Amino acid sequence: LSTNTRNRTLIPSFQRPASRVMIRRAASYEQELGTLIYESLVEFALPVKDKVVLLKPNLVGLDPLGIMNTHPAVIAATRESFLRLGASQVLIGDGPAMDRDTEAILESVRLREFVGPLARIFVDLNIDEIERVPLATKASRLKELYMPKTILGADLVVSMPKLKTHHWAGVTLSLKNMFGVVPGSCYGWPKNVLHWAGIDNAILDINAAVRPDFAIVDGIIGMEGNGPIQGTPRASGVLVLGDDPVAVDATSCRVMGLIPERVKYLAYAGTMLGHVKSDKIQQVGETVPAVRLRFAVVREFSGLSDAA
Amino acid sequence: VDIVPAEESAPTIAELNLDNSFAENVCAPLLRDAQNSDGGWGFHPGANSRVEPTCWALKALMSLLAPGTLDGDAIRRGCNFLIAAQLPDGSWPSTPQEKTGCWVTSLACWVLEGKSEGQKKYSEAIATGLSWVCGDWPRDSGWWQRTLRRLSSGKQHAKHNDSARGWGWTPGTSSWVEPTAFALLALETQQGQKLPSAQKRRRLGEALLYDRMCPGGGWNCGNPEVYGVAGEPLVIPTAWALLALRKYPERRENIESIAWMEKNFSAIQAPGSHALAGVCLAAYGRKGIALTPSASDLHAKNESLRSIPVAAWMTLAAGHPQNWLASGKHS
């Protein structure tokens, strides 16, 4: 067993107890999400009292229509829920990959309208103070990465992706979302060094180094096809939550009608970071069949579909 | 590669009056106060010094510099921070702990050029830096990668002309729009023009920028089309690409892109993009742009000025691009 920079121990999956993943129905962003998310978090009894929580949404680009980024209503409701649970501070942080003008992205998604003034809440992870982190897992060619100190110093990191397919990785969920913690000020816009290191393996290395503690997938409106930016919006009406991000991603794949064991990085992640197999995931809330859809994927990933 | 130089006459520089008083009264003092004791700047006041924000702060203060002002000492200390941060191979790293150089090398050379006249240590630093820039070829368009792609039966997802080669953010990766634009600006300096290998790199780099333009004008990070879908241009890459290509104002691509910028200018909601778009329009001699919202409006709305690069860009936007864009000298 080894311990990462945030003092999270890496436990091989065969030694881990079964994970719990919750699926909640949420028809729209206009509905009352605060109570729904608060009640869901209570179920997981997270140790957040007096802790610093960092929410890591997926903010990939200018999005006035609200189709590619984690919706601000979900971010705001989650922030309120963690404060209600006793967190001392709930920060929001991301390092957008394609556009260095994070302010412009925040404006386009209207985050201030939902969360209020951002100066003391939002951290642009692209230009945060950094620390060199050795990569113990060495899944990719990268031996080390610089990471934002805000991420490394948070007591609880919550990955909050959008439910999307991805043209290079198959799907982009809570694990792929962690690409956003790698600082653009070191690696550029996009963080191309991660692509050259192998996207799948870089996802594993980053997640092993950061170890997000919780995941909340915004699947109220997802994106199918040529995601993560140019895909087609797909109303899916769900939130998927859990304290094993690998299991949350596996369940989210099943909700999209995709087989998680066929997503390369998820299959690997299932050996060391969490559970992918359905018999190791205790599903609570809605069942997968009750909310399952069939998301379109680009041709290269047609083999992921459970209809293939 | 088909580059047609424009006529000799440089584009007219228009004065856009981008909130001069705001830049002088708010942005410049913030930059002055945020300089660290080591001479550098961090991305925020109080943050550890890094090469990129130091370059932007220096560029902004140099653009304001008048004889006898106190900024002369700040600039000297900032330049010395850059000199100390340079790696033995001539490159600059993004952060002082790093031992590998990257795209900020172009920025450092571009900025130091403003101090180089009669200063041997700066000239030498620029010379080794620019040599590193000229020798930093992107990996994606190298012989081996091109051969692999030719042998691959898979369809290419993104349409790129592999004969055009620019610069990546980090060594051994792909060409992207912004680092290519910064390298072109660095090689445009007097010292850059003297380098024998620079001419070929400039030609290939310009070709790369034109190849990566989005259909209809403007640039994003460098993906004009993926899976047959046209990419959406973004303000900042478009501004830097247009500034790097400003000697070709009559080219169709420049005309389309500056038209895109003009059309989108009034919709910009963030001060960093707003400032760079203003600089770009001024460099192309555009007058009469409606400046709403103003930089100060955006600042009040976004609480943005803790960012050193944004404060620097807003300062630069308040002046004349001709004062700092080319290889202007600041004694």
For A88-145, the pLDDT digits (tens) are 999 999 999 999 999 999 999 999 999 998 988 999 999 999 999 999 888 998 999 9
Q: pLDDT confidence of A39, banded at 50, 70, 90?
A: very high
**Residue A287: half-sphere exposure toward Cβ, Cα within 13 Å:** 2
Confirm or reject contact between A10 and chain B (CB < 8 A).
no
Separation between Cα atoms, residue B93 and residue B103, nearest integer Å: 8
The residue that leads in pLDDT, B266 or A301, is A301
> Which chain B residues have a beta carbon less than 8 Å from that of A146?
95, 98
Q: How far is CA B23 from the centre of its chain?
A: 20
Please give the ipTM for the structure prediction: 0.94
- pLDDT in 10s for each residue of chain B, 331 residues: 333 333 333 333 334 445 577 888 888 899 999 999 999 999 999 999 999 999 999 999 998 866 556 678 899 999 999 999 999 999 999 998 899 999 999 999 999 987 766 688 899 999 999 999 999 999 887 777 777 777 775 555 666 777 889 999 999 999 999 999 999 999 999 899 989 989 999 999 999 999 999 999 999 999 888 777 888 999 999 999 999 999 999 999 999 999 999 999 988 989 899 999 999 998 999 865 655 567 777 777 766 557 999 999 999 988 777 778 875 444 3
* A33 token code pair: 């999400």
Rg (CA), chain A: 17
Average pLDDT value for residue range A255-267? 97
pLDDT of residue A307: 86
How many inter-chain contacts (A to B, CB under 8 Å) are there? 110
Q: Do B157 and A230 touch (CB under 8 A)?
A: no
> Which chain A residues have a beta carbon less than 8 Å from that of B227?
167, 226, 230, 298
Confirm or reject contact between A192 and chain B (CB < 8 A).
yes
Q: Do A192 and B94 touch (CB under 8 A)?
A: no
3-state SS class at A219: strand
> Which chain A residues have a beta carbon less than 8 Å from that of B52?
185
Place of tokens 């620029």: B126
CB-closest option in A128, A188, A191 to B103:
A188
Confirm or reject contact between A1 and chain B (CB < 8 A).
no
Q: Do A187 and B302 touch (CB under 8 A)?
A: no
> Which chain B residues have a beta carbon less than 8 Å from that of A62?
232, 234
CB-closest option in A124, A186, A226 to B95:
A186
> Which chain A residues have a beta carbon less than 8 Å from that of B95?
130, 146, 185-186
> Which chain B residues have a beta carbon less than 8 Å from that of A103?
269-273, 302, 304, 307, 310
pLDDT of residue A74: 98
Lowest pLDDT segment from A26-40, A168-182, A200-214, B155-169: B155-169
CB-closest option in A106, A119, A192 to B169:
A192
**Residue A240: its H or E element:** strand A232-242
Q: Do A101 and B226 touch (CB under 8 A)?
A: no
Is the peptide bond prior to A117 cis by the omega test (within 30 degrees of 0)? Answer: no
Alpha-helical (H) ranges within chain B are 20-22, 28-33, 51-64, 71-85, 104-112, 120-135, 143-151, 177-187, 190-194, 198-211, 235-244, 252-265, 271-283, 295-302, 308-318
> Which chain B residues have a beta carbon less than 8 Å from that of A186?
94-95, 98, 102
**Interface mutation vs chain B, best among A105, A230, A232, most B CBs within 10 Å:** A230
Contacts 24+ apart (CB under 8 A), B240-243: B240/B177, B240/B178, B240/B181, B240/B182, B240/B276, B241/B177, B241/B178, B241/B180, B241/B181, B241/B209, B241/B213, B242/B280, B242/B283, B242/B284, B243/B181, B243/B185, B243/B279, B243/B280, B243/B283, B243/B321, B243/B325
> Which chain B residues have a beta carbon less than 8 Å from that of A166?
none
Question: For chain A, what percent of residues have pLDDT higher than 70?
Answer: 99
Separation between Cα atoms, residue A207 and residue A280, nearest integer Å: 20
Q: How far is CA B223 from the centre of its chain?
A: 18
Separation between Cα atoms, residue B272 and residue A147, nearest integer Å: 24
Q: Do A188 and B303 touch (CB under 8 A)?
A: no
| CA distance, residue B270 to nearest chain A CA (Å) | 5
Separation between Cα atoms, residue B314 and residue B24, nearest integer Å: 10
Distances from the Cα of B212 to the Cαs of A156, B139, B229, in angstroms?
40, 17, 14
Rounded to two decimals, the pTM is: 0.92
Q: Which of residues 137-156 of A touch B (CB under 8 A)?
A: 146
**Interface mutation vs chain A, best among B105, B226, B276, most A CBs within 10 Å:** B226
Lowest pLDDT segment from A12-21, A53-62, A85-94, A155-164: A12-21
**Residue A203: half-sphere exposure toward Cβ, Cα within 13 Å:** 25
Q: Do B48 and A129 touch (CB under 8 A)?
A: yes
Q: Do A103 and B270 touch (CB under 8 A)?
A: yes
pLDDT of residue B145: 74
Question: Are B29 and B302 spatial neighbours (Cβ–Cβ below 8 Å)?
Answer: no
Place of tokens 């990191």: A157
Residue B249's DSSP bridge partners are none
Question: Are B52 and B107 spatial neighbours (Cβ–Cβ below 8 Å)?
Answer: yes
10 Å CB burial of residue A244 (0-12, 13-18, 19+) is buried
Distances from the Cα of A156 to the Cαs of A151, A213, A275, B298, in angstroms?
9, 6, 20, 33
In this structure, what is the dihedral angle of CA atoms B277, B281, B287, B292, given to the nearest 10 degrees?
-10
10 Å CB burial of residue A12 (0-12, 13-18, 19+) is exposed
pLDDT of residue B128: 96
Separation between Cα atoms, residue B109 and residue B86, nearest integer Å: 10
| CA distance, residue A34 to nearest chain B CA (Å) | 26
Average pLDDT value for residue range A243-249? 98
Separation between Cα atoms, residue B176 and residue B193, nearest integer Å: 22
| CA distance, residue A175 to nearest chain B CA (Å) | 23
Separation between Cα atoms, residue A221 and residue A69, nearest integer Å: 10
Q: Do A188 and B170 touch (CB under 8 A)?
A: yes
Is the peptide bond prior to B293 cis by the omega test (within 30 degrees of 0)? Answer: yes
Alpha-helical (H) ranges within chain A are 33-44, 72-84, 102-109, 111-115, 149-153, 184-187, 192-196, 199-210, 245-255, 264-272, 288-291
10 Å CB burial of residue A289 (0-12, 13-18, 19+) is exposed
pLDDT digits (tens, 9 = 90+) for A47-91: 999 999 999 999 999 988 889 999 999 999 999 999 999 999 999
**Residue B44: its H or E element:** none
**Interface mutation vs chain B, best among A62, A68, A103, A182, most B CBs within 10 Å:** A103
Question: Are B168 and A188 spatial neighbours (Cβ–Cβ below 8 Å)?
Answer: yes
Confirm or reject contact between A104 and chain B (CB < 8 A).
yes
| CA distance, residue A192 to nearest chain B CA (Å) | 7
CB-closest option in B95, B234, B302 to A146:
B95
Backbone angles phi, psi at B47, to 5 degrees: -80, 160
> Which chain A residues have a beta carbon less than 8 Å from that of B272?
100-101, 103-104
> Which chain A residues have a beta carbon less than 8 Å from that of B309?
127
Confirm or reject contact between A101 and chain B (CB < 8 A).
yes
| CA distance, residue B290 to nearest chain A CA (Å) | 19
pLDDT of residue B156: 59
Lowest pLDDT segment from A33-42, A248-257, B72-81: B72-81
